[in-house]
Structures are given as C-alpha cells and as structure tokens.
Amino acid sequence: MMNKYFIENLLSSIEDKKIAVVGDLILDSYIWGKVTRISPEAPVPVVQVRNKTYCLGGAANVMKNIVSLGGEAIAFGITGTQHAGHHFLSLMKDSGINIDYLTIDKNYLTIEKQRIIAESQQLARVDYEDTNTVPEYINDYIVSNLKELISAKTIEAIIFEDYGKGLINSEMLSSILDYANYYGVVTALDPHPNRKLLFKGITVATPNKNEAFALAGKYNNDLIDPPAKDPCLCEVAKIWEKEWGVEQLLVTLGSKGMVLYEKDKEPLHIPTKAKEVFDVTGAGDTVIAAYTLSLIGGAKPPQAAEISNHAAGIVVGKIGTSAVTKEELIAEFQD
C-alpha cells in the first residue's frame, strides 16, 4: 500500500530526472469579469472585465507539471514572436522549463486559447491559431536532437502530447520510438482523437475514453460497472495493443476514474479521487506527466496509475489550467 513516505521517497528519486516533451504548445489566457447585463445588440451577456491572466497550455502544461513535481522538462515544439509568443516564452522561463531546443519562428502564429470567465463559469472561448504554419524543417530538427539526447543518455523518457495542431506526425513518432526502444527510454503518448498516427511500440498511452474508442474505430458506448470488466473497453484495449504495440494503456474515464491495461494482466480500475470538479482543463496533461515521472522513479504501472489519478483529482479542483505540486500530492496519501 502506498503512503506519504512512499510518495516522498518516489518524489525524491525523480528529482532532476530529465523528460523530453514533444507537442503542440499553447498559451492559455483567461479574461476574468462579472456579468452586468444582457447586451442590447444581441442576446449575449456583457462581461465587465476585472483581470486577465496567462498560463501554459497544451504540451507546455505537461512540462509545467513535470517541473512542479521535481523533474526537468526539456521542451520540443514551436512558438512565434508576436504578443502571445512573448507571453508564452516568459511563462516558460519563469516555470523553469528547459527551452534550449525550443523553436522560435517569426512566421509562426503562437496558438492561444482565450477563455472568458464570470462567476467561476466559462462563458466562451476564443482560439487564435493557424495549424498550416508548422514549418517542414521542424520534423528533422526534433528527430535529430532527440536522438542525440537519447544516445547520450541525457533523458529517461519522452512524452508526445498531441493536441492536433500539426507538430507530431507518424514519421516523427516512428523514427523516435525505434531509437528510444533500442536505448530503453520510456515513451508516452497523449493522443488526439482526430489524428490516427501510424507507429509501433510505445511504453504507455493515456487516452480518455472518447479518444480510446475513436482511434480504435469503435462505437463509444456507456460503460458497465466496474469499467474494467466492460467488454467493449477491453476490446478497445486489445486493438491498441495489437495495432500500436502499446505496453500500458491508461484510459481516463472522468467521474469513473481510470482503467489500466497491461499485456497479459487483468485490467485494473482506479476510482476517481476528485473531491470537487471545477475545471477539467489540462487534467490529461497532469495524468501523463505524473504517470511517466512515477515510472522512471521506480513505481510499477498500477502504482503510477494510482499516483496520476490522485494528481488529476487535485487539478480538476482548481479553476483554469494548472499543475499539481509535490506538497499537494504528498498530502493526498495517508500514513
């Protein structure tokens, strides 16, 4: 059984361990205000703005979670030089993320997701992005630099965070996975449901239920209780193992927790640890960060799943994209 001493020792063992994170980088911005009236121009609320804040989103939130838990995150991705790009770079530096391999391109539009919030409720979201601007050169740049880090034994894991914005592709994944598997580097993927990538042989994938079913080409049905015994979900897990060579499949199920599938082992259901749910933004980022860190810290897959479940339960209790801290995670476990 895991207690706070186990977690403290695990967190101590992952201090300064390096994880490369490859993925779509997003600036999350929040306009905070108060609804004062309904607009006379259209049946929409008028928000009196009180404040505007920025935080790291997409793959950058995975990086922030890694650093917050004591690891070192090495960023692989692209951002621009416009107003949003400057905010993004400032946040990356302030968060202690290694940006030595980050691509900064003046022709690239930094992806920004702007949320309008009043009375703790999200009223609307405005997206700024152009996914057609990912330059062709970045694929070779990422692959070659990752291979150098792998062969030099600088990193212990690679996380691929696909938000469907065009950075990650099948060629990139296959090239890196073959190399990482040869050197024994842990690999993890948080997939996007609209991008079925072709690859083989990854340590862990952490789709949510919708993503798991969509990418397996199966109808997304309501699950039976307990979810680990659901025949449709078990079939989906087998497809992931056969088609993509996934060693560990961790399917997140929202209020039903998560289910861990390992080859030749019984599925394990882990009930949710969330006490109150205010905002699920970025919860998947926390799951893959905590799970991967736990693995390279010496935890077994069921333990890593339990830890990531606790971590996700913490962040959904916060408003906005956020990361879990070491202190918060330790407090979740009793002696």
Q: Which residues are catalytic?
A: 285
The β-bridge relationship of strands 157-161 and 202-205 is unpaired
Residue 114 — left, alpha, or beta (φ > 0 → left; ψ -120 to 50 → alpha)?
beta
Place of tokens 């949710």: 272
Q: Which residue has the tokens 């405005």?
A: 126
Note whether 98 and 72 are within 8 A (CB): yes
Residues 6+ apart with CB under 8 A from 298: 10, 13
Say which amino acid occupies 78. Answer: I
State how far the alpha carbon of 111 is from the alpha carbons of 74, 89, 127, 167, 332, in Å.
19, 12, 8, 12, 34
Do 52 and 320 form a contact (C-beta atoms < 8 A)? no
**Cα–Cα distance, 218 to 317 (Å, whole number):** 31
Q: Beta strand 121-128 with 111-118: parallel, antiparallel or unpaired?
A: antiparallel
- Residue 176 CA to residue 151 CA, distance in Å, equals 11
Non-local CB neighbours of 70 within 8 Å, separated by 6+ positions? 11, 12, 14, 15, 16, 293, 326
Q: Do residues 296 and 333 touch, judged by C-beta distance below 8 A?
A: no
AA identity, residue 61: N
What are the two backbone dihedrals, phi and then psi, of residue 79, each rounded to the nearest 5 degrees? -140, 165
> Tokens at residue 17, please?
């361990």
Spatial neighbors of 90 by CB under 8 A, at least 6 apart, are none
Three-state SS for 166? coil
